[in-house]
Amino acid sequence: MTAAAANERRASARHCERRSQGTIVTGRLFLSRERTVELDVRSTAASEAAKLDLSRLFRSLTVPVHAPRRALLQRLAALGVALAARPAWSAVGEPPASAADFCGSGERGRRLWVPGDDGYLGRLSPLDGPVTLLASAARSPSAAVSRGPLGYATRTRRRHYTNPTLVLQRGQRVRVNLVNALAQPTIVHWHGLAVDGNNDGNGSFLVKPGGRYAYDFEVRNRSGMYWYHPHPHGLTAAQTYGGLYGAVVVEDDDERALRAALDLVPGRTEIPLIMQDRGADTYRATPHDMTHGLVGSDLYVNGTKCPYLDVGSRIYRFRMLNAANARTLLIAFRTAKGALLPFTLIGNDGGLLPAPMRCERAFLATAERIDVLLDLRDAAVGDSILLQTLAFDAMHLEMAHAAPADPHAGHAAPTDAHAGHSPPADPHAAHAHSAGMHLPASAWPDGAPRALLELRVRQRIAFDRAIPERLSTLPPIAASSVAERTFRLGFADGRWRINDRVFEMGMPPIEVQRGKVETWLIRNDPSSMPHAMHLHGFPFEVLGREKSPGDVAALEIDPQGRLATDLGRKDTVLVWPGESVRVAVDFSHPYAGPQAYLFHCHNLEHEDGGMMLPVAVV
């Protein structure tokens, strides 16, 4: 290297230093004449985790070869901000949490709220007539439960429920009356259920304050865990964060056979885990939140903060739902010594898999569900097992330069089909100013590890049941020689977009033909962030992943790049920056006339900001 070249190399370097628990990681970036980036990482300790963390940060600097020097320097500036805010956990690995502080708050554990036959998340089987859900401000049913200031209340057979878990049978007729006692318009979306457009709750019409809407549909889904939540465009994030959500459990012969084989009893050995991160009770999204998604400082499981559950030495079933606005979890179980405890994945969004899958970890994005079995027969009385979210690269820094604009500028208001009511003024209209490249520090950043639930082994149980080798029959969707559509996910002019479009009420929809199978190729821009993409009304099959980032590729189970959680049927799929995911959708249905649905990101701030397209099945 000539002296002149060496001087240029030194002059164009950007220096970053990371200190964490006695370890100093130093990185230098060198911009060559060809605009390539060279990375030099040195550490005062033999910390491969620290080096990997810094390398992941530098990945956000990727730019086209012929990009102007100014673009390169902008990415460097973003890196400096990101490094300054990077939490200590990412550079030093993730030691197991102590039992005294297993949820990161310093508080003592509380007994997990387990839904029963009434009360919060209580199991309700609407077999003898309509159920009325009153959307209103609701008190917590117990001092041990904290789930926001809003709720769906109902009373039936002299029992009171808040956010009831609706237990439905395949083929059953369901009638639900939604009554709106909120100060805002609302509507309920039956997430994952295959229903017609009038029952989907897609936000094209809303129920005004004081109004009501009658749902009436037949359950066509396989057994599985689905859920319901609000879907008024521009208000979905606030109302869901406020506490308006609940589970739907569909049962069929496969479900009954599994319970019989493993002696699973809901509320005792089959436990729902509905997880939501929260901060303040009142929803206040900042410009940063509107770009990245709101993440809270604490996680609540079934409304319980820092929960524990007493268990015995047998197989337990945990049915998990990520009801967070934006947070992604990397689910795993750990022993008190820090070793990962394998679990068996038996289902996901669309119900039971054909066969069980042994896993050590699984991503769970917002709106996704997983159904797992945990075998505790080798556990001793007194043992403690932690359900955790492990550390991973959340890849928000890929678009650290993004500056949010007014997320709803130019949006037309939806109509109220019941009373001609228009929704209130856009709650995010004040977010027009730029957040620049600042990434505010969080008490619990997305991708940071934390224990979520402690399992305390309290008794020995003689249990000799075996997990069935087959769980269900699920033929693949015939996707060869069918039409393919491409969807591009990206950020431009302060807005998240699909195919460069931002949602507006009444915009021309994507039109698909009834009864046809299509493949959809969902491509996420390399400078984007992860997006959990949800399709209303129709389950889909994940055919493959391409160019997955390292944390995702490490979980691949087949040559198509799929994850264990991609198998079976899905209604929500997480697409990472630079990644492409191909899915197959069968648009067959029994309803008369055109049907209206939506395809959108389920990061609720992105959804409210317009990362959504209408879909018409004609």
Cβ atoms of 240 and 229 closer than 8 Å: yes
Rounded-to-integer distance, Cα 88 and Cα 18, Å: 9
β-pair type (23-31, 14-20): antiparallel
User: What is the per-residue pLDDT across 120-137, written as a single tens digit (0 to 9) for each?
Assistant: 999 999 988 899 999 999
Q: Give a three-class secondary structure readout of 232-287.
A: CCCCHHHHHHCCCCEEEEEECHHHHHHHHHHCCCECCCEEEEEEEEECCCCCCCCH
Sign of the C-alpha dihedral computed for residues 196, 202, 203 and 204 taken in this order: negative
Domains of the chain, earliest start first: 3-91 (no CATH), 483-617 (2.60.40.420)
Please state the rounded mean pLDDT for residues 442-447: 89
Residue type (1 letter), 583? V
Sign of the C-alpha dihedral computed for residues 491, 497, 500 and 504 taken in this order: negative
Cβ atoms of 525 and 490 closer than 8 Å: yes
Q: Which of 4-13, 273-282, 358-367 has the lowest mean pLDDT?
A: 4-13
Cβ atoms of 376 and 333 closer than 8 Å: no
- Token digits for 390? 């492990």
Q: How far is CA 612 from CA 233, 345, 534, in A?
A: 10, 30, 9
Cβ atoms of 72 and 34 closer than 8 Å: no
HSE-CB for 192 with a 13 A CA cutoff: 27
Structure-model confidence comparison of residues 221 and 53, the more confident one: 221
pLDDT above 60 (res 558)? yes
Rounded-to-integer distance, Cα 150 and Cα 161, Å: 13
Which residue has tokens 């509107």? 290
Please state the rounded mean pLDDT for residues 283-287: 94
User: What is the per-residue pLDDT across 523-534, written as a single tens digit (0 to 9) for each?
Assistant: 999 999 999 999
Sign of the C-alpha dihedral computed for residues 395, 84, 326 and 121 taken in this order: positive
pLDDT above 70 (res 84)? no
User: What is the per-residue pLDDT across 135-152, written as a single tens digit (0 to 9) for each?
Assistant: 999 776 666 788 789 999
Rounded-to-integer distance, Cα 136 and Cα 151, Å: 6
- Which residues contact residue 190 at a Cβ distance below 8 angstroms, ignoring those fewer than 6 apart? 199, 200, 201, 215, 217, 226, 228, 248
Residue type (1 letter), 339? A
Q: What is the pLDDT of residue 157?
A: 84
Most confident of 24-28, 103-107, 511-515: 511-515
Residue type (1 letter), 555? L
Cβ atoms of 188 and 209 closer than 8 Å: no
Rounded-to-integer distance, Cα 205 and Cα 149, Å: 24
Residue 491: how many other CB atoms lie within 10 Å:
21
Q: What is the pLDDT of residue 441?
A: 59
Looking at residue 421, what DSSP letter applies? P
- Which residues contact residue 194 at a Cβ distance below 8 angstroms, ignoring those fewer than 6 apart? 220, 221, 537, 538, 539, 589
Residue type (1 letter), 114? V
| Average pLDDT over all residues of the chain | 83
Rounded-to-integer distance, Cα 410 and Cα 349, Å: 34
Please state the rounded mean pLDDT for residues 593-614: 98
Rounded-to-integer distance, Cα 273 and Cα 366, Å: 14
User: What is the per-residue pLDDT across 561-596, written as a single tens digit (0 to 9) for each?
Assistant: 999 999 999 999 999 999 999 999 999 999 999 999
- From the list 574, 280, 332, the residue with the least C-alpha distance to 453 is 332
β-pair type (483-492, 517-524): parallel
Q: What is the pLDDT of residue 400?
A: 55
Residue type (1 letter), 377? R
Q: Which of 74-83, 419-428, 451-460, 479-488 has the lowest mean pLDDT?
A: 419-428
Structure-model confidence comparison of residues 141 and 349, the more confident one: 349
